[in-house]
A = this chain, B = another copy of it.
Amino acid sequence: MIETRTTPKTTLSAALLERMNAYWRAANYLSVGQIYLYDNPLLKEKLTPEHIKPRLLGHWGTTPGLNFIYVHLNRIIQALDVSMIYIAGPGHGGPGLVANTYLEGTYSEVYTDITQDEEGIKKLFKQFSFPGGVPSHVAPETPGSIHEGGELGYSLAHAYGAAFDNPDLIVACVVGDGEAETGALAASWHGNKFLNPVHDGAVLPILHLNGYKIANPTILARIPKEELEQLFIGYGYKPYFVEGSEPADMHLAMAVTLDEVFEQIKLIQQEARTNGFTKRPQWPLVILRTPKGWTGPDNVDGTQVEGTWRAHQVPLAELASKPEHVLLLEQWMKSYRPEELFDRDGKLIAELAELAPLNDRRMGANPHANGGALLRDLLMPDFKTHAIPVDKPGTIQAESTSIMGGFLRDVMKLNWDKRNFRIFGPDETSSNRLSRLFEITQRTSTAQIVPGDNDLSPDGRVMEVLSEHLCQGWLEGYLLTGRHGLFSCYEAFIHIIDSMVNQHAKWLKVSRDLSWRHSIASLNYLLTSHVWRQDHNGNSHQDPGFLDLVANKSADIVRIYLPPDANTLLSVTDHCLRSRDYINVIVAGKQPELQWMGMEDAIKHCTAGMGIWEWASNDEGSEPDVVMACAGDVPTLETLAAVQLLREHFPELKLRVINVVDLMTLQPRSVHPHGWSDVDFDMLFTKDKPIIFAFHGYPLLIHRLTYRRTNHNNLHVRGYKGEGTTTTPFDMVVLNDLDRYHLAGDVVDRLPGLGSRAAYFKQFLHGKLLDHKAYISVHGEDEPAIRNWTWTL
């Protein structure tokens, strides 16, 4: 929260602005140095090709603007004593953020070998985009960052996620005009309809128009200013323009603008926190228009560079063969007058160093940007109190996700005062049967609410927006700043954020190796309304392929759970909400379905990850004739129905039923920490008996997880093979050969000893399938015998 104190305007003076300009020059100098210099970091000697890196990697274009913003936010932090973090949307701004966190001292504290002297600057320069060094983007390695800048589009969603429930935090979010063209970013501006000034922090978007992408102008830089202004008023902001290229003028304009902008933020927050939320405020937004590659080489080899797309990467190239470029580089770097900025030993002079905030107020050191440092365990209610009593397996029905919804409600309740838990989803919380959450909270909206709206409030803690990108981005921002959450989504549409998951997985993987980054809560997904029960929607809503994407990630990051019923879902959910640094994917159905396990059994089963269901098997400890394995609620149902059929028709057959909850148990232990040892795996799946595996997703995923297992050659997997349409639940499994009749047929196909009885049985199964097709073509729903099937053995 912004405290009331001497208004910041009085702190502005020509002398201060001059010093800020010098600080900016220092940041720019260090940025150019990172891109180019291998040695001679303070230019004490004449610059020669030997001082220059052989491979010039990195991006200058956006950097001076990012540096400019940083120094101005530093002043505000000092003047107002506010807690602020800096999200750098233009990902290629790595050198700028590294330079600034170095100047403020954070960098040397985190990386103690990068000292505040000439030797430290030399290392700082060398490591940048150097093998084993730091990337060109803002990344986990960058202190103060919660944002992997490599893939554009997510800065503003992360910013809103960071601001929710952080009333004292201001999230400055620089949005590049290139990034602004992405879908995710274009949707993100609407985050202001979900931010409540009473208990959330502030997001200050700074749209940085430097006009160009790699080779092209940007859209927003090439529409009339009036359109641009109306666009952002339309998005609900109050835009403030700061435009120009003359540093002195720009410093003054930026400082005056930021004073006004932060005054606005203070007033909005004071009003809301004094009088309560009344209406969505018009939050300020800054539009900063500066030349791309500002203060860099104006013209190179007769071609304009500053202010064009040519400044995007390295404005001066081929330095080994062009001595005149070496001279230009030296002139460019010397134009920042490093000798005025750093003392003889390479230390930033005190007069400039004091412009940076102190301690945790430094944006590189703000604990919100190392969210694990602030993370507190969720208080966990006892999930067992939500258990469904299951006296006999497969006889009662329940909506598994509905049971889970009750548990989530209690988690929400128990942590209510801490405000550190939110649920995210694209308008599907009720559809996904999690509506018990609405017994205690509501959906969030700070836009207009009218009579008749259901469970909607500016104070809601369920975040619904019809954009998977925003759900994912908000949740990531929320987690990265040290809180907890869960994203519930229709299974097929989680593919919309495949690439965001990739980037978050990369973030987690790199962060693991950074001792100074603290663990954060896991990113938890509930995927429901899944491929097998899209009765309403059909083909377009049927895709279980997200599991394949996730399974490609590092084993120390990802977990996939397929609880077959409500009690296993409860156990898995409890486990996921307690975990750290993972991506947990839970797939579970929302429709009424048979329940298999009592709570104690469910806990044991989930802890093991997979196991034999003795009550369904009749191998009684001996080697079975065939193994029937299943993973996922619908495949489990079909497997058990097939088992019942087989046991009725072939009572002498020894069947073993295995249910897999934790998919990663299938992998060898050398590959995944959850993987079962080969000995244990072979005990379960046998070394040479046929295995019929009914799987929720694409069958090949099971093959690739198990291809090293002893008995892989006898493994036959049924799953989704891309066949789908609007049809009945049972017909959907029939279309993909995953139904009880196909599974039973698969078994007898692999047991030649059954002789002519097998042929008779196959005819029987074929007749059943024909009956099914005939029935649904008339009635439009499955036969009662299918709908009402229960376990009767």
**Interfacial residues, chain A to chain B (CB-CB below 8 A):** 38, 53-55, 57-58, 91, 126, 129-137, 139, 148-153, 178-179, 181-190, 193, 213-219, 222-224, 227-236, 304, 308-309, 313, 427-431, 443, 445, 447-450, 452-454, 456, 464-470, 492-493, 495-496, 498-499, 502-503, 506, 509-510, 535-541, 543, 545, 548-549, 551-554, 698, 700-701, 703-704, 707, 712, 722, 725-728, 731, 776-777, 779-781
**Interface-centre pick from A464, A495, A712 (highest chain B CB count, 10 A):** A495
Partner of A465, one of B219, B445, B456, B469: B219
> Which B residues are CB-close (under 8 A) to A700?
551-552, 704, 707
Of B227, B495, B704, the contact of A704 (CB 8 Å cutoff): B704
Given A186-B183, A447-B219, A308–B58 Cβ distance below 8 Å?
Answer: no
Q: How far is the CB of A378 from chain B (nearest CB, A)?
A: 26
Q: Which residues of B contact A57 (CB under 8 A)?
A: 535-536, 726
- Can you name 10 A-B pairs with beta carbons within 8 Å? A130-B726, A135-B726, A149-B540, A150-B540, A219-B465, A227-B236, A230-B234, A492-B502, A502-B543, A701-B704
Taking CB atoms, residues of chain B closer than 8 Å to A429 are: 215
Query: When A and B form their complex, which 10 residue pairs have the shortest distance between CB atoms, in order from nearest?
Result: A150-B540, A231-B234, A183-B183, A186-B186, A495-B499, A230-B234, A222-B447, A181-B466, A186-B187, A131-B727
Q: Would you call A223 and B183 a contact (CB within 8 A)? A: no
- Do A536 and B136 contact each other (CB < 8 Å), given the known contacts A54-B779, A131-B726, A235-B231? yes
Give the chain B neighbours of A236 by CB distance below 8 A.
223, 227
Given contacts A214-B428, A552-B698, A726-B129, contact A780 B38 (CB under 8 A): yes
Please give, as numbers and ranges, the residues of chain B lying within 8 Å of A448 by CB-CB distance. Answer: 217, 222-224
Closest residue to A157 on the B side, CB-wise?
A: B183
Cβ–Cβ < 8 Å partners of A467 in chain B: 181-183, 186
Q: Please, which residue of chain B has its CB at the minimum distance from the CB of A546?
A: B498
Bound complex: CA A219 to CA B185 (Å) = 16
Of A304, A452, A499, chain B has the most CB atoms within 10 Å of the CB of A499
CB–CB A502/B506 < 8 A: no
Copies of chain A in the complex: 2
Contact A135/B539 with A445-B222, A464-B216 known, Cβ cut-off 8 Å: yes
Contact B466 A152 (CB under 8 A): yes
B231 touches A466 (CB 8 A): no
Q: Knowing A537-B150, A539-B506, A540-B148 are in contact, say whether A496-B493 is a contact too (CB < 8 A).
A: no
Q: Say yes or no: A151 contacts B540, CB within 8 Å.
A: yes
Shortest C-beta distance, A424 to chain B (Å), equals: 13
The one of B148, B219, B430, B468 in contact with A190, judged by C-beta atoms closer than 8 angstroms, is B219
Residues in B whose Cβ lies below 8 Å from that of A186: 183, 186-187, 189-190, 467
A553 to chain B minimum Cβ distance, whole angstroms, is 7
Shortest Cβ gap from A310 to chain B (Å)? 9
Q: How far is the CB of A551 from chain B (nearest CB, A)?
A: 8
Complex interface: chain B residues within 8 A of A193 (CB):
219, 222-223
User: CA–CA, A721 to B466, complex, Å?
Assistant: 34
A182 touches B131 (CB 8 A): no
Given contacts A216-B464, A229-B234, contact A55 B223 (CB under 8 A): no
Residues of B within 8 A of A506 (CB): 539-540
Q: Which residue of B lies closest to A722 (CB)?
A: B554
Chain B residues near A553 (CB-CB < 8 A)? 722
CB neighbours of A498 from chain B (8 A): 495-496, 498-499, 549
Instruction: Contacts A151-B493, A543-B502 given; indicate if A725 touches B135 (C-beta within 8 A).
Output: yes
With A150-B539, A234-B228 known as contacts, the answer to whether A427 contacts B130 (CB < 8 A) is no
**A538 in contact with B216 given A445-B222, A722-B509 (CB within 8 Å):** no
Assembled-state Cα–Cα distance A376/B448 (Å)? 51
Across-interface contacts of A153 in B (CB, < 8 A): 183, 496
The answer to whether residues A58 and B495 also contact, given A183-B467, A231-B235, A549-B549 and a CB cut-off of 8 A, is: no
Q: Are B216 and A456 closer than 8 Å at their CB atoms? A: yes
**A181 in contact with B465 given A54-B781, A222-B193 (CB within 8 Å):** yes
| A190 close to B183 (CB less than 8 A) | no
Interchain nearest-CB distance for A585 vs B (Å): 15
- The interface residues of chain B lying within 8 Å CB-to-CB of A234 are 227-235
Note all chain B residues with C-beta closer than 8 A to A54: 779-781
Contact among B136, B216, B552 for A443, CB-based, below 8 A: B216
A780 touches B53 (CB 8 A): yes
CB distance from A189 to the nearest CB of B (A): 8
Given the complex of chains A and B, what is the CA–CA distance between A208 and B63 in angstroms? Answer: 42
Cβ–Cβ contact B537 & A136, under 8 A: yes
A694 to chain B, nearest CB (A): 18
Give the one of A541, A543, A777 with max B CB within 10 A: A543
Cβ of A452: which chain B residues have Cβ within 8 Å of it? Answer: 304, 308
The CA-CA distance from A215 to B725 in the complex, in Å, is 25
Q: Chain B residues near A731 (CB, 8 Å)?
A: 131
| Contact present for A130 and B780 (CB under 8 Å) | yes
CB distance B151 to A777 under 8 Å?
Answer: no
Neighbouring B residues of A465 by C-beta, 8 Å = 181, 219
Q: Which residues of B contact A453 (CB under 8 A)?
A: 217
Known: A55-B781, A181-B190, A216-B456. 17 other contacts (CB 8 A): A57-B535, A131-B780, A135-B537, A139-B539, A150-B537, A179-B466, A182-B187, A183-B467, A214-B427, A217-B447, A219-B465, A222-B448, A231-B235, A551-B700, A552-B722, A554-B722, A700-B704
- Residues of chain B contacted by A430 (CB below 8 angstroms): 214-215
A648 to chain B, nearest CB (A): 27
Query: Are A431 and B183 neighbours in the complex by a CB distance under 8 Å?
Result: no
- Chain B residues lying within 8 Å of A133, measured Cβ to Cβ, are 726
Residues of B within 8 A of A183 (CB): 153, 182-188, 467, 469-470
When distances are taken between beta carbons in the complex, the residues of chain B under 8 Å from A53 are 780
Q: Are B538 and A218 in contact (CB under 8 A)?
A: no
A150-B539, A540-B149 given; A216·B427 CB < 8 A: yes
Task: State the CA gap A447–B216 with chains docked (Å).
Answer: 12
A430→B230 CA distance, assembly (Å): 33
Complex Cα gap A712–B509 (Å): 31
How many angstroms between the C-alpha atoms of A703 and B281 in the bound complex?
56
Shortest distance from the beta carbon of A426 to any chain B beta carbon, whole Å:
8
Pair A726/B134 contact, Cβ less than 8 Å: yes
How near does chain B come to A175, taking the closest CB pair, in angstroms? Answer: 12
A701: chain B residues at CB < 8 Å are 704
Which residues of chain B are within 8 angstroms of A536 by Cβ–Cβ distance? Answer: 57-58, 129, 136, 313
- Report whether A493 and B503 are in contact in the complex, using a CB–CB cutoff of 8 Å: no
Q: Given contacts A193-B223, A236-B227, A727-B131, are A137 and B217 in contact (CB under 8 A)?
A: no
Give the complex CA separation of A650 and B155 in angstroms.
54
Tell me the complex Cα distance, A452–B216, Å. 11
Residues of B within 8 A of A227 (CB): 233-236
A189 contact set on B, CB distance < 8 A: 186
Of A137, A535, A536, A727, the most chain B CB neighbours within 10 A belong to A536
Contacts of A447 in B (CB 8 A): 217, 219, 222-223
- Give bound CA distance, A426 to B703, whole Å: 36
Q: Which residues of B contact A38 (CB under 8 A)?
A: 780
The residues of B that contact A232 with a CB separation of less than 8 Å are: 234
Residues B219 and A55 in contact, CB atoms below 8 Å apart = no
